[in-house]
Amino acid sequence: MQKKWWKEAVVYQIYPKSFMDSNGDGIGDLPGIISKLDYLKDLGINVIWFSPLYKSPNKDNGYDISDYQAIQEAFGTMEDFDRMLEEAHKRGIKVVMDLVVNHTSDQHKWFIESRKSKDNPYRDYYIWRDPKDGKEPTNWGACFGGSAWQYDETTGQYYLHQFAIEQADLNWENETVRKEIFDMMNWWCQKGIDGFRMDVISLISKPDVYEDGPINTGDGYSGVGAITANGPRVHEYLKMMNKEVLSKYDLLTVGETSGVTTEEAKKYAGSDTNELNMVFQFEHVDVDADEHGKWTMKPMHLPDLKAIMSKWQTELEGKAWNSLYWNNHDQPRVISRWGNDSEEYREVCAKMFATCLHMMQGTPYVYQGEEIGMTNFPFTEIDQVDDVESVHIYDTYVKENKEYTHEQMMKIISKKGRDNARTPMQWDDSENGGFSTGTPWLAVNPNYTVINAKSQVNDPNSIFSYYKKLIRLRKEHEIIVYGTYDLLYPEDEKLYVFTRTLGEEKLLVICNFSEETVELPEDLKAMIVEQKGILIRNYSEESEKIRPYEAIVYQL
């Protein structure tokens, strides 16, 4: 297997709005981030991925960009960015930018021009269609609810938006659009950034023929993401991007690819396909979805999760590269979602999930606050929620089609909504968790007095110290990065057991996903008798049996 720096790296994701506020306006910013770089160096991560820092009207918290070459005022200036880049590099930390080029904000100068007239030079930068029988061109439904088409009175046509109305889809068919994007990417690379995380990149190539899809969203539309995913020219576009930009630098590139299969991933992130380094797949985070999509309390069934993770581990082996994640700014906190965030189990549980993920093959991503075991937020009212997606789904299911009661929906939002990940980082036990001296834009989780970074950085038994150790082990043991993966006991509903192998070396990873104390199967006990040592474990004392949420890694 070819060795690469980005295969050996651990990435830390910062959601800038919620990381650290330096000026008391309740919004995180670049000077705040700079002040915490030593914390990240101490953790040992090699790369930071920044959710969008660009100028944006913030309809979708920066994923609606109005200027790709300017910094959002609330975050600071371009000088602050340059200083942050320099300070990060000084500490050996690389910087990966979010790249949101499926769509722009409707406030981007290209769109402002585009909507002016049918013959405007920017008209063809976006996707415009005539009405069909006086209605939307197709029945496609936007990811955040309603139609994916928005009527514009000025010209009597509809434009496509797969996300919010204010996020208009760019027309990748247009060569000039591609050139503008590639020029902008080169501009950032010239500045010295180290990579891109590419937002919904699997959705940029639209179908050849625009026709109705099967109706399947809660409000009677057809989910557009399923229709546009892995479109006819997506690989051609990425190969162009690779040639014009990516191949010229030594970058980490990761595509966010909803709807991706392992077969498709081998094209996006194949070692010889000249597109990206790796993709974020969604199958494992969709494991607890049902006919309501993610908006359900359906529990996770461990054999299903293991089957998905293992498929990705083995099918990409030697052909493409995995990204590894439980959390990000779109996912609820995993310990609240599939684990146990009670006082009794939160710590061991957080360490168990970390062990399971960090012992797999691929590049691990740590989402801010994960390293201290932050949890979901106890939302009870919809006005506590900022996220455009949760607000839309509340309106659809509670107000419009009455699928759920207010109480049911709030329970689901507290379990699955994106704001669970977006509450401010909990730095210490002072007011607002030390995030801001002003009023935070989104409430701080009330558990900040117990869960905060300050209480953990110097405690050798903390979750933070455990992550530190996992990250260090990855640097010390090649087998963790490059070893092959084999799943044991696929049907076991409590234990996730797998091995990693590199040459003569072998690791055995045992994780208990349940609250029960479990007897190990005899053949596993026999393997353990032969062990050469323990690499890491989340309980200190020995035990015959595997305790609730126990994780242990043996060297065989």
**Which residues of this chain interact with ligand NOJ, rule CB under 6 A?**
60, 63, 100, 163, 199-200, 256, 329-330
Give the residue carrying structure tokens 């300017």.
70
Closest distance to ligand NOJ from the beta carbon of 140 (Å): 15
Backbone angles phi, psi at 70, to 5 degrees: -140, 155
Closest distance to ligand NOJ from the beta carbon of 254 (Å): 12
| Best CA proximity match to 302, nearest among 350, 353, 341, 373 | 353
Amino acid at 218: G
**Of 103 and 469, CB closest to ligand NOJ:** 103
Separation of alpha carbons 382 and 388, rounded Å: 11
Distances (CA, A) of 461 to 373, 466, 529, 547: 13, 7, 27, 18
Closest distance to ligand NOJ from the beta carbon of 480 (Å): 27
Catalytic one of 29, 60, 64, 256: 256
Degrees, nearest 5: CA angle 42-45-51: 115
Closest distance to ligand NOJ from the beta carbon of 482 (Å): 29
Q: Which pair of tokens denotes residue 194? A: 């180290």
Coil vs helix vs strand at 176: helix
**Of 80 and 330, CB closest to ligand NOJ:** 330
| Strands laid side by side in the 252-256 sheet | 278-280, 252-256, 195-198, 94-99, 47-50, 11-14, 363-367, 323-324
Distances (CA, A) of 205 to 297, 315, 404: 33, 25, 35
Closest distance to ligand NOJ from the beta carbon of 449 (Å): 29
**Of 60 and 288, CB closest to ligand NOJ:** 60
CB neighbours (10 Å) of residue 8?
15
Catalytic one of 80, 136, 199, 386: 199
Separation of alpha carbons 375 and 340, rounded Å: 10
- Show the DSSP H helices in 441-536 as ranges: 454-457, 463-476, 478-482, 522-529
| 256 annotated active-site | yes
**Of 58 and 512, CB closest to ligand NOJ:** 58
Closest distance to ligand NOJ from the beta carbon of 330 (Å): 5
Closest distance to ligand NOJ from the beta carbon of 12 (Å): 16
**Of 379 and 549, CB closest to ligand NOJ:** 379
Separation of alpha carbons 424 and 432, rounded Å: 8
Separation of alpha carbons 343 and 414, rounded Å: 18
**Of 29 and 330, CB closest to ligand NOJ:** 330
Q: Which pair of tokens denotes residue 58? A: 């913030």
**Of 100 and 354, CB closest to ligand NOJ:** 100
**Of 202 and 222, CB closest to ligand NOJ:** 202
Closest distance to ligand NOJ from the beta carbon of 132 (Å): 26
* Whether the Cβ atoms of residue 375 and residue 335 lie closer than 8 Å to each other: yes
Give me the residue whose beta carbon is nearest to ligand NOJ.
63
CB neighbours (10 Å) of residue 344?
12
Active site members = 199, 256
